[in-house]
Structure 1
Amino acid sequence: MHDFGQYRSVRIAFVGGGSLNWAMGLMADLAHDTRLSAQVRLYDIDAEAARRNAEIGNLHAAVSRGAPAGYRACETLAGALEGADVVVISILPGRFEDMAQDIGIPAEYGIPQAVGDTVGPGGFVRAMRAIPMLASIGTAIREHAPTAYVCNLTNPMSVLTGALHAVFPGIRAWGECHEVTKIRKQVAWIANRGAGTERFTHRDVQVNVLGINHFTFVDRIALDGRDMRPAYEAFVREHMEPGWAQTESGKDEEHHRYFGTRNLVAFDLFRRFGIPAASGDRHLAEFMPVAEYLADPARWGFALTPVEYRIRDRDAKRARAEEMRAGRIAPRAHRSDEALVDQIAALMGGAPFVSNVNLPNHGQMAGIPQGTIVETNALFSGLGPQPIGAGALPPDLLAHVAGHAERQTALLHAVLSGDRAALFPLFATDPLVAHLPQPRAREMFDRMVAATAGWIPDNLKGAA
């Protein structure tokens, strides 16, 4: 809904509204924004977490640069969705303890995973848990907010964005990921080094994005009217051997240990395929066979993130949230690196905005079947998110991307249709699993499903 005065009004339903990451970031972004007047309804299966976040969100009124956003916790999903202009979905499919099984069991079979939430054995079983959840949310959106714009933030991004479109073909949904920010920050750094001053940020960098989520590439790069690809290629050649450290500002040493990278995987993929890789190394490595990168992550300058660290980090964030709720930590209006508020402002009639998103392929990416979820740029405006033609990947790389995309689409259809017999053959063809003898792969799959069986529909359990 639009208010053509100083601010544009928007009603946002946040599913997973007890989030300690995306919900907190949205609060700070909305407090920093001067375009929107937002009313945010928070729904979470952990109702107390949603109530906590509503209280924290309303504390941001004191620091808002524009119209203070209002926050309210809702007891039901339907209550949060009714009349929403925008729906944001950020949920955890299961628990961190389940994610520990996604990582730990494959490690026993010689398959290390740096993240384990997108592809590989961890991403596959996580999808089995999450697809029914997103299908349920998509059905509720069809019933209670059929004209809303819907942003999915939950991984595995491609499969879950596909689930929303599968259960509600008319949904206006996209998948949002910040991975491409990494290469844009690199390009800004290159330009600033050349200029001798901190003139540019990643927001000044334009890239043409092609691929699937967490396995994305860019074939054109521009900044300030200049073609930056030659400079980027020179940068890669300069740092091909030692690497180039990329860390997140404001994070502690332990976070950098587990999330920092030297971009050596991205640089090596550029050497092999002739196109810059845009995602972070920890994700890129999981799309390739174990022997290529994951067998020796230290050699490639990245770490395997233990779930124990994620649990400690969650607990620390929860404690900080309670301190903020109690007024002992002041909220801050802060513009994050995320594009979500810019996308919402454009959809509500503000200035058009271009960013990389996950959408069904309607021709924007060549060589991938129609309807497959791909990641390219899209133009956000009052007309909705419209994909921008991206072109094609190099043939050898396209074959690899297409294999993953086809597997993701088949996995989605198998889960939604209850085709249990189709699941293991798909699981066994993932590049991280394909080297295992079939009996070992089958044993690993059955153990993984059993370990988190409480979250997986009954018709997908058991031997088939």
Structure 2
Amino acid sequence: MSFKIAIIGAGSVGFTKKLFIDLLCVPEFRDIEVALTDISQHNLDMIRAILEKIVEANGFPVKVTADTDRRRALEGAKYIISCVRVGGLEAYADDIRIPLKYGIDQCVGDTICAGGILYGQRNIPVILDFCKDIREVAAPGAKFLNYANPMAMNTWAAIEYGKVDTVGLCHGVQHGAEQIAEILGAKSVSELDYICSGINHQTWFIDLRLNGRKIGKDELVAAFEAHPVFSQQEKLRIDVLKRFGVYSTESNGHLSEYLPWYRKRPEEIARWIDMSDWIHGETGGYLRHSTETRNWFETEFPQFLASAAKPIDPAKRSNEHASHILEALETGRVYRGHFNVKNNGVITNLPADAIIESPGFVDRFGINMVSGVTLPEACAATCMASINVQRMSVHAAVRGDIDLLKLAVLHDPLVGAVATPEEVWQMVDEMVVAQARWLPQYAHAVPAAKERLAKSSVKTRDWAGAARRNVRSIEELRAEKSALKKAV
């Protein structure tokens, strides 16, 4: 098979490499063209060198191109994959830093909460530019696969306003399933059958079967509490499981910032998180992790390049959805996964316009969702709180409506549990001013926001958060990796 795949934001080097190797694990895909595009020529040069080394080492006729001209990269592409981070780590640092001044402590801040909403404001205009290019220069009927966060908002904008065939893809469901398989003593995750449904990062295991045997709440709680690692790392998720009756797919840290109950009091945060790794609830954990990863890659690039010169092992293909979806669409080999699409009645007790994450099957006829799913009432209620925020955020981003943006942030569950309306209004003004260069739709609102900030009497504080760790140096990372190797 010969067709073109374009990857936007290909400078996300590690993730692009993983997707590329996955694609080459499909025997029929070894004559494709992969067009890389990014605003950073430096990152493009690095990832192109790595991918070309992989192609050379395996003797495949795959063509790899790299271009900072996005439209040129998208010309004739049948599939477009996006993994962009608009504003990079500089803007992301403000997503964490500024809300902390108002008492809002986020672990990740890239899906909802104050940081995730502003992230969406930066991303959505760019996503719509992608969609315009796809409509104009990509292959007719091209499919857009969005990996970028905030997942639901980006996918919502691409479908409702971009008018492009779009699916959102995440790996939270797969990671949750791996955990459950481990605590239940399964030899592999293939022994576990499950239905997850909800919205991205708030998806729920509403049916679990181990080798055909149904697993109930009590057994699951007991298994998690008996696990020597997860019992400590997933305390908040286990508490939600006990109260809701079903397990959430999302990590302890992520889930903690989507709910109004666990991070609203600084003295309570330590009770529910674990500091063994960023994903379990650390303040600004993903920002620290991303910063360390970028620094590590820049320094250790020669080693990454050298490691690319080895044969691909299809048995080690990852569980990222993209390659499996493309394989099913192109070959007809059926693939089952959990996908982010417009609801349209798939989940009976969520709105039709919401972007939901739920089971579907892929074949030559496309992505076919399993309809008629009904969430437990508490799960639906929790999802609804986020959906309402997402809807307002998308519409605000498209219209450049700062008043609607403030209302979206005000209605965010964690923000509303911590901040007053006056604090929210000032915080949003401060974030829009700080990120103005990435928010062209709010250019008209920035002068007035600056005036309000100059006159404001709302007090803020200089606070690093309840559970902050410093970014580790390259030397510290090397020492930790060396110690881990010796321990193994």
Into which bin does the TM-score normalised by the smaller protein fall? 0.7 to 0.9
Q: TM-score, normalised by structure 1?
A: 0.86
| Unaligned ranges ≥5, structure 1 | 4-8, 247-259
Write out per-residue CA displacement over residues 93-150 of structure 1, whole angstroms, 9 at most, x where no aligned residue: 2121211111111122221101010111111111111111111111111111241121
Q: Is residue 49 of structure 1 aligned with residue 20 of structure 2?
A: no
Structure 2 counterpart of 1:419: 401
Closer/same/farther in 2, CA of residues 163 and 244 from structure 1, 3 Å limit: farther
Structure 1 counterpart of 2:457: none
8 A Cα contact 1:135 1:164, kept in partner: yes
SS in 1 for 2:344: coil
Identify the match of residue 359 of structure 1 among 327, 341, 345: 341
Partner AA of 2:365 in structure 1: L
Shift of the alpha carbon at 1:185?
A: 0.5
| Unaligned ranges ≥5, structure 2 | 275-279, 453-488
Partner AA of 2:370 in structure 1: I
Partner AA of 2:82 in structure 1: I
Shift of the alpha carbon at 1:161?
A: 0.6
Identify the match of residue 137 of structure 1 among 126, 130, 143: 130
Structure 2 counterpart of 1:234: 219
Q: Is residue 154 of structure 1 aligned with residue 169 of structure 2?
A: no
Write out per-residue CA displacement over residues 230-288 of structure 1, whole angstroms, 9 at most, x where no aligned residue: 3x741322434x76535xxxxxxxxxxxxx97222222111111222111111111111
Structure 2 counterpart of 1:254: none
Partner AA of 1:234 in structure 2: E
Closer/same/farther in 2, CA of residues 99 and 75 from structure 1, 3 Å limit: closer
Q: Is residue 245 of structure 1 aligned with residue 229 of structure 2?
A: yes
More helix by share: 2
Identify the match of residue 12 of structure 1 among 2, 5, 19: 5
Distance 1:372 1:293 in 2: 27
SS in 1 for 2:247: coil
Shift of the alpha carbon at 1:204?
A: 4.8
Structure 2 counterpart of 1:221: 208
SS in 2 for 1:180: helix
Partner AA of 2:432 in structure 1: V
SS in 1 for 2:50: helix
SS in 2 for 1:433: helix
Closer/same/farther in 2, CA of residues 18 and 293 from structure 1, 3 Å limit: same
Distance 1:261 1:167 in 2: 43
Structure 2 counterpart of 1:251: none
Partner AA of 2:324 in structure 1: D
Structure 2 counterpart of 1:315: 295
TM alignment of 1:299-310, pairs within 5 A: 299-300=271-272, 301=274, 302-304=280-282, 305=285, 307-310=287-290
SS in 2 for 1:411: helix
Shift of the alpha carbon at 1:290?
A: 5.3
Closer/same/farther in 2, CA of residues 29 and 294 from structure 1, 3 Å limit: farther
Shift of the alpha carbon at 1:62?
A: 4.2
Structure 2 counterpart of 1:175: 168
Structure 1 counterpart of 2:111: 118
TM alignment of 1:319-398, pairs within 5 A: 319-325=299-305, 327=306, 330-331=309-310, 333=312, 334-389=316-371, 391-398=373-380
Q: Is residue 273 of structure 1 aligned with residue 253 of structure 2?
A: no
8 A Cα contact 1:131 1:416, kept in partner: yes
Write out per-residue CA displacement over residues 359-388 of structure 1, whole angstroms, 9 at most, x where no aligned residue: 001211112221211111121111122221
Alignment RMSD (CA, Å): 2.4
Taking only the aligned residue pairs, the percentage that are identical comes to 27
Closer/same/farther in 2, CA of residues 306 and 62 from structure 1, 3 Å limit: closer
**Aligned residues, how many?**
432
The ranges of structure 1 where at least 4 consecutive aligned residues each deviate by more than 6 angstroms after the TM superposition are none
8 A Cα contact 1:57 1:70, kept in partner: no
Partner AA of 1:271 in structure 2: K
8 A Cα contact 2:82 2:147, kept in partner: yes
